[in-house]
Amino acid sequence: MEFIVYLAGQIHDDWREKLIKKVEERNLPFTFVSPQTNHERSDNIGEDVLGKQPSNLYKDAAASSINNFRTEVLLQKADIVIALFGEEYRQWNTAMDVSTAISMNKPTIIIRPESLIHPLKELSSKANVTVETVEQALDVLAYIFD
């Protein structure tokens, strides 16, 4: 039995690589997918495909439709969603992905620092599990095979 895990959330550090490395060390049967983590590529994908747009609004509209396409394809394949919220940025994409996952009955884990307990309280309350570190999320994943 193999599980596909979608790693939503912050793209400004290497938390995905750290998690994947530890999963490989423990030899657990998870495959990971994620949004485009190259921020510049993610912002430009609309113009990369469709050409120059009339303004930033339309550049963003073009990019976001392709990013959402990618996310939908991968999220529908996922058995589990893990979302990491960092202290910077508004990360509404992350909130959107985890809310969508919950609505699709995907079991979800939120990782967030202590400083975000209050603003994330309603979203945490809907997720299956909320933890503070990548290691704790890994412990929850590993518990499936415990």
Q: Does 118 bind its own copies (CB under 8 A)?
A: yes
Which of residues 3, 34, 47, 134 is near its own copies by CB under 8 A?
Answer: 3
Q: Does 103 bind its own copies (CB under 8 A)?
A: yes
CB 83 within 8 A of CB 9: yes
Take residue 72 and report the two structure tokens written for it.
Answer: 């939908």
Give dist(CA 48, CA 51) in Å, integer: 6
Site string for its own copies, 73-92 (x = CB under 8 A): xx-xx-xx--------xxxx
What is the nearest approach in angstroms of its own copies to the Cβ of residue 49?
5
What is the nearest approach in angstroms of its own copies to the Cβ of residue 40?
12
Which of residues 33, 47, 86, 134 is near its own copies by CB under 8 A?
Answer: 33
Alpha helix locations (H) across the chain?
Answer: 15-25, 39-50, 56-77, 92-103, 121-126, 134-143
Give dist(CA 48, CA 81) in Å, integer: 28
Give the dihedral sign, CA 130/113/139/8: positive
Helix (H, G, I), strand (E, B) or coil at 49: helix
Site size toward its own copies (CB under 8 A) is: 70
- Contacting residues toward its own copies, per CB under 8 A: 1, 3-4, 31, 33, 36, 38, 41, 45, 48-50, 54-58, 60-61, 63-74, 76-77, 79-80, 89-93, 95-96, 98-100, 102-105, 107, 109, 117-126, 128-129, 131, 136, 139-140, 143-144, 146
